[in-house]
């Protein structure tokens, strides 16, 4: 039997989803009689991630002291390493005032069903100064044009802390039945196929030739048993390509261009933070909880606009993550591009003899322009079968 990497912070994974059907039905019935509140999308995503075991060993939402400590130095007041605060933030708590047990309702599903039951240990109100401090530490900016900053500062300043029991995994199970996986299910699947050394690739975009080759390079360099392509299925910023289109394009690429049984295509239910370096560390933590030994961290990982330096998400692991805080290792990737000289995708740092003219470069904007007008992407940039799926999507927007 394969021996997987230990989860973060405990010997075994402790997902907060109530797996016993009878107990869960009883709790759902109980929840209907509890004071309830519709939580924000970020808090619902946090519940899904805790439910699936991704945020192990957390047992619920953090209080203000822990959140501030995590923002300041990436550990809770008890010393647990964690890169970002995991919060249930509200603007108004009048419907749950004085309650010890409350039902949390999902903002992203019609009818707002109960997603979790929370034991209320405290209700803390952050000051404007505390919100600003956390924002600066997590995002390295307080510019409200940054989508993560805007989202974080728009959901209220009241933090409801305490343990939760998760009763469903929101819309992810129904909308993405083939792709959505909990961390514990990914571990089970890895054990079933006998993988031990596994490299994870994080994506919120379709995968082009450079991404494909990056996975292959890491897989071969590390002598890995398999690759976990792990895509974000939650809320993105306007203009990003929807999850179902990304999913279809990635499946087509893997089907045609990777050997059988070397890649698992999966997804997780979380809203993108666009927090650059801090989010890269969170990505590493929950990939360790999923059973991965390595995470590919490339240029501008989890970034947006020009808020972060190209390789800040690699530097944070060397300079700010304490030795031994995580067991997962980082595979540091340079910018990858198609070399016209060599007729293949290469990591640019390996070829100092190349000039810019030796590579095929396309900006995201240029790609979108070409797809919108029905212009074929160069084969050096995108596999034709992948480009067709993307082009069909963009053309449908114009109808």
Does 348 fall in a domain? Answer: yes
* Pair (235, 372) in one structural domain: yes
| Same domain flag for 225 and 96 | no
Separation CA 325–CA 6 (nearest Å): 12
pLDDT digits 0-9 by tens, 92-102 = 999 999 999 99
In this predicted structure, the answer to whether residue 57 has a pLDDT above a threshold of 90 is: yes
pLDDT of residue 235: 84
Q: Is residue 10 part of a domain?
A: no
Same domain, 84 and 110: yes
Supply the pLDDT for residue 335. Answer: 86
Higher pLDDT, 368 or 126: 126
Report the catalytic residues.
Answer: 204-205
Total length of the chain = 399
Which of 39-53, 231-245, 277-291 shows the lowest mean pLDDT across its residues? 231-245
The pLDDT value recorded for residue 295 is 98
In this structure, the answer to whether residues 169 and 183 fall within a common structural domain is no
78 and 28 in a single domain? The answer is yes
Residue finishing a domain among 146, 173, 200: 173
CA dist., res. 81 & res. 50, Å (int):
16
pLDDT in tens, 15-41: 999 999 999 999 999 999 999 999 999
Q: Is the torsion defined by CA of 51, 180, 219, 208 positive or negative? A: negative
Do 132 and 214 have their domain in common?
no
Q: How far is CA 290 from the centre of its chain?
A: 12
pLDDT at site 205: 87
pLDDT at 38: 98
pTM of this prediction exceeds 0.85: yes
Q: Tell me, what's the pLDDT at 2?
A: 59
Rounded to whole angstroms, how far apart are CA atoms 251 and 258? Answer: 10
Distance in angstroms (rounded) separating the CA atoms of residues 165 and 57: 14
Strand order of the β-sheet with 336-339 is 344-347, 336-339, 359-360
* Residues 67 and 120 reside in one and the same domain: yes
Q: What is the CATH number of the domain that holds 168?
A: 3.10.400.10
**What is the number of structural domains in the chain?**
2
Structure tokens that stand for 313 in this block:
């998400």
For residues 249 and 388, membership in a common domain is answered with yes
Question: Could you give the 3-state DSSP secondary structure of residue 155?
Answer: coil
The partner residues of 330 in beta bridges, in order of sequence, read 295
The verdict on 143 and 264 lying in the same domain is no
- Residue 241 reports pLDDT greater than 90: no
**Domain co-membership, 183 together with 169:** no
CATH number (domain holding residue 260):
3.40.50.620
Q: Domain boundary at 123, 139, 173, which?
A: 173
Domain boundary at 173, 195, 210, which?
173
* Residues 129 and 219 grouped into a single domain: no
What's the rounded Cα separation, in Å, for the pair 214 and 199?
11
The answer on pLDDT for 53 being more than 90 is yes
Give helix 277-289 / helix 312-319 axis angle, nearest 10°: 70
Average pLDDT of the chain, as a whole number: 95
| For residue 1, pLDDT beyond 70 | no
- CA nearest to 118, candidates 66, 89, 160: 160
pLDDT tens digits, one per residue of 188-206: 999 999 999 999 999 988 9
Q: How would residue 60 be classed by pLDDT, with cut points 50, 70 and 90?
A: very high
Q: What is the pLDDT of residues 341-385, one digit of tens each?
A: 999 999 999 999 999 999 998 777 788 888 888 898 999 999 999
Q: Are 221 and 90 in contact (CB under 8 A)?
A: no
Given this model, what pLDDT does residue 240 score?
A: 81
Evaluate whether 76 touches 82 at the Cβ level (below 8 Å): yes
Domain encompassing residue 216: 179-397
* Shared-domain flag, residues 204 and 61: no
Q: How far apart are CA 74 and CA 63, in angstroms?
A: 14
């Amino acid at each position: 039997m394969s021996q997987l990497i230990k989860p973060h912070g405990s010997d075994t994974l402790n997902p907060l989803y109530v797996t016993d059907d009878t107990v869960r039905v009883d709790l759902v019935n109980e929840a209907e009689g509890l004071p309830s509140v519709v939580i924000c999308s970020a808090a619902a995503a946090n519940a899904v991630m805790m439910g699936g075991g991704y945020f192990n060993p957390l047992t619920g939402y953090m209080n203000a002291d822990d959140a501030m400590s995590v923002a300041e130095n990436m550990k809770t007041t008890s010393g647990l390493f964690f890169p970002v605060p995991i919060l249930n933030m509200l603007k108004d708590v009048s419907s749950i005032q004085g309650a010890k047990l409350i039902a949390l309702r999902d903002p992203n599903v019609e009818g707002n069903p109960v997603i979790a039951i929370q034991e209320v240990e405290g209700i803390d109100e952050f000051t404007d100064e505390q919100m600003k401090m956390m924002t600066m530490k997590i995002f390295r900016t307080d510019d409200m044009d940054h989508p993560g900053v805007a989202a974080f500062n728009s959901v209220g300043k009241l933090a409801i802390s305490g343990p939760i029991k998760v009763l469903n995994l929101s819309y992810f199970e129904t909308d993405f039945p083939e792709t959505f996986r909990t961390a514990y299910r990914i571990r089970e699947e890895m054990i079933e196929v006998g993988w031990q050394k596994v490299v994870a690739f994080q994506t919120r975009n379709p995968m082009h030739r450079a991404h494909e080759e990056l996975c292959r390079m890491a897989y071969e360099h590390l002598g890995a048993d398999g690759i976990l392509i792990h895509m974000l299925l939650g809320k993105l910023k306007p203009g990003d390509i929807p999850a179902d289109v990304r999913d279809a394009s990635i499946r087509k690429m893997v089907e045609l261009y990777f050997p059988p049984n070397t890649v698992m295509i999966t997804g997780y239910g979380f809203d993108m933070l666009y927090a650059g370096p801090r989010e890269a560390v969170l990505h590493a933590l929950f990939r360790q909880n999923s059973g991965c030994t390595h995470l590919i961290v490339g240029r501008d990982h989890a970034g947006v606009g020009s808020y972060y330096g190209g390789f800040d998400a690699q530097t944070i692991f060397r300079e700010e993550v304490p030795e031994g805080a995580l067991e997962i290792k980082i595979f540091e990737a340079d910018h990858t591009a198609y070399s016209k000289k060599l007729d293949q995708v290469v990591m640019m740092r390996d070829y100092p003899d190349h000039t810019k003219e030796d590579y095929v470069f396309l900006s995201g904007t240029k790609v979108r322009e070409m797809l919108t007008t029905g212009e074929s992407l160069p084969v050096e940039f995108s596999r034709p079968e992948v480009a067709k799926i993307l082009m069909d999507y963009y053309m449908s927007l114009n109808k």
